[in-house]
């Protein structure tokens, strides 16, 4: 998607060209000339993530070791340049957008799995390891890595740690933080330390817990100990088709309300299922108003009982078709359909804006209706594909960025959706993070005192303030910072 | 909600140079001794239980026993599992000590969704969010879990609940195991005391039965935590449990190891034996929390890791050092570290 205008950064340093040259020379001294660069074309590749906001870096580097990351951070400190860490750049909230004329540190070349201990279900991985690659590497051991974002073929474990990423299968077992035991990090001053550990507890504060989801503002993860999950002996994936999205949402509420916690509970509306069918032919019914994918796993008797209970509750709430995947192949196809949704949508409109918010599961029906009304008011097409089981909505707004005035309408709808979710007792983000995109919406959820505590926590980790500045917290969260909102960050 | 209790707590904090944060007192021996005449405690009671959302908002002073009873009425539970059910919700979270079922359900820090607390400068702040999934802002709830009342006085919290299992059963085999038996799929607890290994299984009644048979388990009572006038909780990497067990055999202590977790509960008749057990854990790269007795033993035995960051966090949330002074060994000098 094309961002509307260019963002020149928040704290424009009037830095002399030779200062940047000196930074580059220092980086090249530590990393070699091929892995520290500042050509305009190279910098343009790293001026944004998969979100809408565009920034500007002064240099970009590609470390291959913890030592090289520390060197890069110390170099940035020496020349008083901020630094922004990024993985594959699949983030949607602008967390990796370079703001404040920073050095961009790209972690994709640190992509080794350092060790796997199958007996204790733990692996040490470098941050550039792709999420799906990890699960593929350990599949023969009967293990997998549970958080599975839809972008798992492309996103890195380090990026997952940065955003505390989720995925369809986080319903029963929790998002990234519940699967990270320890993180080796380079702090803002270039020192290296380990937060958390393989031992179950450490005395003092849970710094590991603070770091996960801190979006690069507390330092850079250079190695991560992740908890691996045993593959379940039995898995059943069900497709339930409903006439309306409200009926499907009511079925979700009923399933959770009946005291069941499936492994995944995903919903797609008619537009999405049609797009997916045109794209890959996953076997979704074209006449359904909404399709629910439910997966249950565990031991066979419990799985059978859950499948029967979900079928009964589904039919009670208007499911006119309930199909259980007959084999692994059909199951894989259903999931491929779900995870291809965003690719399928890209064929329908030149641009889309993907929202991320969570509401209590009991409010799904009313919030989905309000989202529809909001999109209609802005004459935007909206599609819904989301993690229904935990109330994590992902409305997609479709548009053509060439249409005059379109961005204002998209931002207005995005803003209204966020406000609607908060009013329903929800939160701003379930798994994408705050970044730049939702930074200035934070006061919708938090009082000034709440934000002040968050700013103080961040400063305690990074007193230098050089780690990914201007992200997560709005200006004014602490005394003395006034920041301009970059174009492309909505609101 | 009414904020009488919150404003009273804030007023008490502002009016004192040092406050002792108290609940039921069941964890009062954990950490360094707090020498403060002013006591503050959170109110009690369930604010809101939404079974269909699987969340409950509860005041921090609520006894876990009371919360469990209310959740069970609607077929749910919250995995707090304190050693004593008299413990308050706030006490369990402040100490951050996980219970029996960590192997399956994860550490206690994973159940907290939202926290509301009074800071050291007497402000009421909120962190996290009320939904089961949320990444809005920094993870203040996890910061508070295990912070021992040194960063804030928990007022109320929103917790994740889960459905009660159809069947819950302890079973045992003679002998000790080093790893979670391969025949078992994600058991809730595997605890070994040197004589027997106890396994807790939860789920569908037929599955529990079949798993017990597959692993050669016989229905048993739950394992007993080791007794002793002096008790500790060792924490080592799960792979080091066999080595620690071997060393503990040389020391006159009783112990119970949570296999696959790395928590080893130790009971001793003499403080020096508990100290020897601690030394054994430390030699394996772990540590031991003093839980009971052994008053001359340091509460933690090791320095806080990353003490500089921790000291800065403490200074940020409790600038005057009013909350539970000396509970954690946070020397302001370590800020320079």
Strands (E), A326-393: 351-354, 357-358, 381-386, 392-393
Helix, coil or strand: residue B234? strand
Top-confidence residue, A171 or A11 = A171
Residues in a beta bridge with B220 = none
Residue A449's pLDDT is: 96
User: Any idea what DSSP says for residue B323?
Assistant: B
The pLDDT tens digits for A88-109 are 999 999 999 999 999 999 999 9
d(CA B9, CA B4): 9
Asked if B48 reaches chain A (Cβ–Cβ under 8 Å), the answer is no
Q: Does A388 touch chain B (CB under 8 A)?
A: no
A261 inside 8 A of chain B by CB: yes
Q: Please, are residues A116 and A308 in contact by the beta-carbon 8 Å criterion?
A: no
pLDDT at B3: 63
Which residues of chain B does A457 touch, with a Cβ-Cβ cutoff of 8 Å? 138, 140, 143, 313, 316-317
Q: Is A188 on the interface with B (CB under 8 A)?
A: no
- Helix A448-461 with B307-317: angle, nearest 10 deg: 160
What mean pLDDT is predicted for residues A3-24? 60
Checking if the pLDDT of B95 tops 80, the result is yes
Instruction: Note whether A64 and A71 are within 8 A (CB).
Output: no
Quote the pLDDT of residue B177: 87
Beta-carbon pairs below 8 A across chains A and B: 251
Q: pLDDT for A211-261, tens place per residue?
A: 999 999 999 999 999 999 999 999 999 999 999 999 999 999 899 989 889
| Minimal Cβ distance to B309: which of A214, A392, A460 | A460
Q: Do B52 and A256 touch (CB under 8 A)?
A: yes
Q: What is the pLDDT of residue B2?
A: 47
Average pLDDT value for chain A:
91
pLDDT band at A478 (very low <50, low <70, confident <90, very high): low
Q: Is B249 on the interface with A (CB under 8 A)?
A: no
Q: Please, are residues B143 and B157 in contact by the beta-carbon 8 Å criterion? A: no
Judged against a pLDDT cut of 70, whether residue A489 lies above it is answered with: no
Most confident of the ranges A187-196, A273-282, B31-40, B176-185: A187-196
Whether the predicted pLDDT of A142 surpasses 70 = yes
Interval B18-66: pLDDT, tens = 999 999 999 999 999 999 889 999 999 999 999 999 999 999 999 999 9
Residue B335's pLDDT band (boundaries 50, 70, 90)? very low
Structure confidence at residue B245 (pLDDT): 95
Query: Distance between CA B191 and CA B180 in Å, rounded?
Result: 10
Rounded distance between C-alpha atoms, residue A26 and residue B14, angstroms: 50
CB contact under 8 A, B310 and A205: yes
Question: Is the separation of the CB atoms in B260 and B282 below 8 Å?
Answer: no
CB A249 within 8 A of CB A386: no
Contact B146 A205 (CB under 8 A): yes
What is the reported pLDDT for B14? 94
- Selecting from B143, B145, B239 the residue whose C-beta is nearest the C-beta of A117 gives B239
The β-bridge relationship of strands A351-354 and A395-399 is antiparallel
> CB-based contacts of A308: which residues, under 8 Å, 6+ apart?
none
pLDDT value of residue A480: 36
Hey, which residues 80-139 in chain A have their CB within 8 Å of chain B? 117, 119-121
- What whole-number distance in Å separates Cα of residue B238 and Cα of residue B319? 37
- Residues B73-89, mean pLDDT to the nearest whole number: 96
B255 contacts: CB under 8 Å, gap ≥ 6? B193, B194, B226, B245, B248, B264, B265, B266, B267, B277
pLDDT of A481 above 90:
no
Chain A residues 410-439 with CB within 8 Å of chain B? 425-434, 438
Give the whole-number percent of chain A exceeding pLDDT 90: 83
Residue A454 DSSP SS3:
helix
Using alpha carbons, select from B275, B316, B312 the residue that is nearest to residue B120: B316
pLDDT at A5: 37
Closest CA to A212 of A439, A453, A433, A392: A433
Q: What is the mean pLDDT of residues A270-287?
A: 93
Residue range A368-408, pLDDT digits in tens: 999 999 999 999 999 999 999 999 999 999 999 899 999 99
Task: Out of A206, A261, A472, name the one closest to residue B137 (CB).
Answer: A472
pLDDT at residue A53, as a whole number: 86
pLDDT at B294 exceeding the cut of 90: yes
Interface with chain A: mutation pick from B138, B179, B182, B205, highest number of A CBs within 10 Å? B138
What are the E-state strand segments in A197-275?
220-227, 229-230, 234-242, 264-269
Using the beta-carbon criterion (under 8 Å), do A256 and B102 form an inter-chain contact?
no
User: What pLDDT is recorded for position B334?
Assistant: 44
Rounded CA-CA distance A432/B133 in Å is: 11
CB spacing of B53 vs A432 below 8 angstroms: no
Categorize the per-residue pLDDT at A16 as very low, low, confident or very high, splitting at 50, 70 and 90.
Answer: low
What's the gap in Å between the CA of A120 and the closest CA on chain B? Answer: 6
Instruction: Tell me how far apart the alpha carbons of residues A454 and A448 are, in angstroms, rounded to a whole number.
Output: 10
pLDDT value of position A15: 57
Phi, psi of B332 (to 5 degrees): -55, -25
- Provide the pLDDT for residue A490: 37
Test A204 with B304 for CB contact under 8 angstroms.
yes
ipTM comes to: 0.96
Given a contact cutoff of 8 angstroms between Cβ atoms, the answer to whether A242 and A251 are in contact is: yes
């Amino acid at each position: 998607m094309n961002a509307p205008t260019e963002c020149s950064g928040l704290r424009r340093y009037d830095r002399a060209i030779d200062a940047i040259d000196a930074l580059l020379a220092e980086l090249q001294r530590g990393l070699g000339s091929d892995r520290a660069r500042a050509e305009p074309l190279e910098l343009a590749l790293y001026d944004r993530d998969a979100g809408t906001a565009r920034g500007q870096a002064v240099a970009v580097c590609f470390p291959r070791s913890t030592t090289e990351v520390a060197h890069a951070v110390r170099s940035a400190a020496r020349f008083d340049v901020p630094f922004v860490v990024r993985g594959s750049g699949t983030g949607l909230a602008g967390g990796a957008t370079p703001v404040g004329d920073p050095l961009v540190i790209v972690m994709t070349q640190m992509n080794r799995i350092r060790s796997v201990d199958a007996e204790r279900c733990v692996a040490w991985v470098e941050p550039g390891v792709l999420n799906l690659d990890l699960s593929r590497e350990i599949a023969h051991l009967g293990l997998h890595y549970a958080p599975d974002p839809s972008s798992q073929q492309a996103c890195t474990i380090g990026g997952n740690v940065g955003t505390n990423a989720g995925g369809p299968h986080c319903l029963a077992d929790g998002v990234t933080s519940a699967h990270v035991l320890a993180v080796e990090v380079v702090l803002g001053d270039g020192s290296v330390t380990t937060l958390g550990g393989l031992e179950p507890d450490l005395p003092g504060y849970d710094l590991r817990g603070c770091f996960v989801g801190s979006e690069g503002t507390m330092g850079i993860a250079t190695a991560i100990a992740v908890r691996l999950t045993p593959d379940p002996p039995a898995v059943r994936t069900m497709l339930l088709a409903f006439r309306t999205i409200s009926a499907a949402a009511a079925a979700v509420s009923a399933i959770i309300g009946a005291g069941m916690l499936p492994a995944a509970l995903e919903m797609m509306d008619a537009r999405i299922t049609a797009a997916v069918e045109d794209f890959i032919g996953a076997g979704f019914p074209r006449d359904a108003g909404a399709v629910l994918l439910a997966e249950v796993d565990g031991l066979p008797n419990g799985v059978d009982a859950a499948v029967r209970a979900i079928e009964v509750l589904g039919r009670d709430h208007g499911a006119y078709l309930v199909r259980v995947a007959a084999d692994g192949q059909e199951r894989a196809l259903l999931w491929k359909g779900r995870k291809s949704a965003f690719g399928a949508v890209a064929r329908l409109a030149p641009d889309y804006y993907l929202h991320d918010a969570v509401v209590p599961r009991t409010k799904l029906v009313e919030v989905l209706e309000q989202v529809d009304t909001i999109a209609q008011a802005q004459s935007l097409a909206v599609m819904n594909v989301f993690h229904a089981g935990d109330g994590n909505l992902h409305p997609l707004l479709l548009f053509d960025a060439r249409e005059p005035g379109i961005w204002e309408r998209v931002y207005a709808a995005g803003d209204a959706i966020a406000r609607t979710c908060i009013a329903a007792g929800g939160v701003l983000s379930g798994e994408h993070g705050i970044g730049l995109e939702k930074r200035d919406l934070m006061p919708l959820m938090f009082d000034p005192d709440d934000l002040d505590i968050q700013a103080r926590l961040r400063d305690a980790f990074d007193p230098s303030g050089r780690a990914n500045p201007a992200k997560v917290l709005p200006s004014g969260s602490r005394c003395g910072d006034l920041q301009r909102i970059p174009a492309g960050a909505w609101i | 909600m009414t904020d009488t209790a919150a404003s009273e707590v804030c007023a008490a904090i502002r009016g004192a140079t040092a406050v002792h944060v108290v609940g039921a007192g069941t964890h009062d021996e954990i950490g360094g001794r707090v020498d403060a005449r002013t006591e503050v405690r959170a109110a009690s009671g369930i604010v809101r239980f939404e079974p269909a959302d699987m969340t409950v908002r509860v005041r921090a002073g609520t006894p876990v026993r009371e919360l469990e009873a209310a959740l069970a009425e609607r077929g749910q539970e919250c995995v707090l599992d304190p050693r004593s059910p008299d413990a308050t919700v706030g006490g369990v979270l402040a100490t951050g000590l996980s219970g029996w079922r960590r192997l399956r359900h994860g550490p206690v820090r994973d159940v907290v969704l939202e926290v509301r607390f009074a800071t050291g400068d007497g402000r009421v702040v909120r962190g996290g969010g009320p939904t089961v999934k949320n990444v809005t802002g920094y993870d203040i709830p996890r910061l508070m879990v295990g912070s021992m009342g040194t960063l804030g006085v928990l007022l109320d919290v929103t917790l994740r609940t889960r459905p009660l299992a159809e069947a819950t059963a302890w079973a045992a085999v003679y002998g000790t195991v080093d790893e979670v038996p391969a025949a078992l799929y994600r058991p809730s607890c595997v605890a070994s005391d040197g004589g027997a290994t106890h396994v807790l299984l939860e789920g569908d009644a037929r599955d529990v039965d079949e798993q017990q048979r597959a692993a050669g388990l016989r229905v048993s009572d739950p394992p007993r935590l080791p007794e002793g006038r002096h008790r500790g909780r060792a924490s080592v990497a799960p792979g080091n449990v066999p080595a620690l067990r071997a060393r503990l055999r040389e020391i006159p202590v009783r112990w119970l190891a949570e296999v696959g977790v790395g928590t080893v509960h130790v009971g001793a008749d003499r403080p020096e034996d508990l100290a020897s057990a601690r030394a054994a854990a430390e030699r394996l790269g772990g540590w031991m929390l003093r839980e009971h007795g052994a008053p001359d033993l340091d509460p933690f035995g090791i320095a806080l890791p990353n003490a500089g960051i921790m000291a800065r966090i403490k200074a940020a949330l409790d600038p005057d050092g009013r909350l539970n002074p000396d509970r954690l060994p946070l020397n302001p000098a370590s800020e320079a570290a």
